[in-house]
Structure 1
């Protein structure tokens, strides 16, 4: 990911209210990001998606192995 892409994504998340940005008047400039209150509510959703994603990867690996005879690391 490029610095430009990261910057664009962080600005979009801030605009959408999912993160809060703190800018410090320092040299060199310092910026900190954290989840907003509503952003923290997404943590549970993301945890469930992670579990589902890992289960799906396992499923696809097993499916691939059964059709090709290959085994992929989990």
Structure 2
């Protein structure tokens, strides 16, 4: 494999097929020593990352019940 001038690599079709990697699958690189690993990000990983990112972002004095009422009222007009 080579890196393109745009700093991209192409995963060969055989590897994509074996690992069931399609264009919508998110991937992450992991480095251990002088080795580079490619890892599929599982949907639960994305949710955990989002929750960690959002933690502590809410402002205001709303109770959980008030937030749930507000959220549900917008989901079901």
TM bucket, shorter chain:
under 0.3
TM-score where L is the length of structure 1 = 0.26
TM-score (norm 2): 0.25
**Which protein has the bigger helix share?**
1
Which structure has more RCO (C-alpha within 8 Å, separation ≥ 6)?
Answer: 1
